[in-house]
Amino acid sequence: MSNRRTLKILHAGALRKPVVECARLLQQTRPEVEIILESFGSRACARQVREGKVVDVLALADPMLFEEFLVPEYVDRYYIFANDQIVLACNEFSRGGGEINAQNWFDILLREEVTFGRSNQDLDPCGYRTLMVWQLAEEYYGHSGLFVKLDQKCRGDFIYPKSYDLAADVLVGKLDYAFVYRCVASQFGLRYLALPEKINLSHPAHASYYSRATVSLPGKNSGEMMTISGAPIEFAIAIPRNAANPALAGVFLDLILSKQGQELLEECGLIPY
Q: Which pLDDT value is given to residue 79?
A: 97
Residues of the chain with pLDDT under 50: 1-3
Give the pLDDT of residue 4.
Answer: 59
First to last CA, the chain: 42
pLDDT of residue 3: 41
Q: What is the pLDDT of residues 243-266, one digit of tens each?
A: 999 999 999 999 999 999 999 999
Query: What integer pLDDT is reported at residue 222 of this predicted model?
Result: 82
Query: What are the chain's domains?
Result: 5-82+235-272 (3.40.190.10), 86-216 (3.40.190.10)
Interval 60-77: pLDDT, tens: 999 999 999 999 999 999
Q: Which residues pair with 119 in a beta bridge?
A: 160
pLDDT for position 190: 97
Q: Residue 62's closest CA among 77, 36, 81, 76?
A: 81
